[in-house]
Amino acid sequence: MIDLGEYGARFTKDPYPVYAALRERGPVHWVRTPPPGAYEGWLVVGYEEARAALADPRLSKDSTKRGLSSFEDELMGRYVLISDPPEHTRLRSLVAGAFTMRRVEALRPRVQQITDELLDAMLPKGRADLVDSFAYPLPMTVICELLGVPDIDREAFRAMSNEIVAPSGGDTELAAIEQLAAYLDELIEDKRCAEPADDLLGALIRTRAEDGDRLSRAELRGMAFILLVAGHETTVNLITTAVHTLLTHPDQLAALRADMTLLDGAVEEVLRFEGPVETATYRYAAEPMEIGGRSIAVGDTVMIGLDAADRDAAYCPDPHRFDIHRAPQGHLAFGHGIHYCLGAPLARLEARVALRSLLERCPDLALDGPPGDWLSGMLMRGLRSLPVRW
């Protein structure tokens, strides 16, 4: 067994040398994840093995099939990331229509407006923490408006959400889950009693009241949870790491400023090079199987390293070089298979609008000191703060 916690803070800051060393020994390893919440299971670090595992129906997302039920599952209810077909198919179909390319593209003017308003407020100051002033409020505002969530205490919500996706240890994660579950219950009840609204959460509540497909109260809570948290966390990290990566690779930043037609490719390269989801949520072997020459027993936990796989030289030549001119088709930043990220089109739209607007309005954008800490744990990959000036 390989104890990743033994690498200490340097693994959190830069896990890629560790992943590369593991990959030289094989594509799959039995590991213990770093604390807090250390967990043992198989870690897939090879690209071909990761891509195949993501689409393998023998790997279940439903821990209850192993007789396990987490505190989070009990409080939040069922949602797409912890379910298998046919339950997963049913739940996903209820929200998939809101995230089609056409629906997302219709949001572009509003995303641009929110972006411009945030920059209008930020730019006169000359310096800011990009996360607080821009990268967090942009996707948070977009997903709240899409779902129909009224203005909330965003600092309090950010603290809860961060604690859930990047736990700091102790009882704080459980407290955050309890607080968020209580908030969502109140929100759903308020929505149910109000006049029908033209938003996604209202549509899900009305669907529950119709004959045919019904969402239980717990399912409504679970769907609201995953849409609200996943709908902003990944994009916050994508925008932040995109700016950080460009500022620390000045030649690539200069190339992008000189030719903004490279923007779409630049976003894709950021997704490959420093994807916002480091490791996919746990899967469990539903039957004996083999991955990368390793025998996986029934019930074994399988963790698929998305960021690790995207730095595999077998998939991407010279993988540790950031190059916006390459076209990294097939990266796994948004997953693969039936659990491919529903919000990928929206995340891409927000990142493209944010980067273009920020770079066009801040021609002398620069780092203003060292960035904050990287998020703890192996789920999310992102910076807690990014001081910039212009």
Residue in 352, 346, 331 with CA at minimum distance from that of residue 261? 352
Span 259-299, pLDDT tens digits: 999 999 999 999 999 999 999 999 999 999 999 999 999 99
* Helical axes 172-193 vs 154-165, angle rounded to 10°: 130
Amino acid at 114: I
Give Cα separations from 272 to 11, 20, 167, 332, 359 (angstroms): 18, 15, 24, 7, 21
DSSP character string of 236-287? HHHHHHHHHHHHT-HHHHHHHHH-GGGHHHHHHHHHHHS-SBSBPPPEEESS
- pLDDT value of residue 189: 87
User: What's the pLDDT score for residue 209?
Assistant: 41
> Which whole number is the average pLDDT over 21-41?
92
- Reported as type and span, the H/E element at residue 338 is none
* Overall pTM > 0.85: yes
Q: Where are the domains of the chain?
A: 2-389
> What rounded mean pLDDT belongs to the chain?
90
Percent of the chain with pLDDT over 70: 93
Q: What pLDDT digit, counting tens, does each position of 325-375 carry?
A: 997 689 999 999 999 999 999 999 999 999 999 999 999 999 999 999 999
Cα gap 141→132, rounded to integer Å:
13
CATH of domain 2-389: 1.10.630.10
Residue 74 has pLDDT above 80, yes or no: no
Structure confidence at residue 220 as a pLDDT band (50, 70, 90): confident
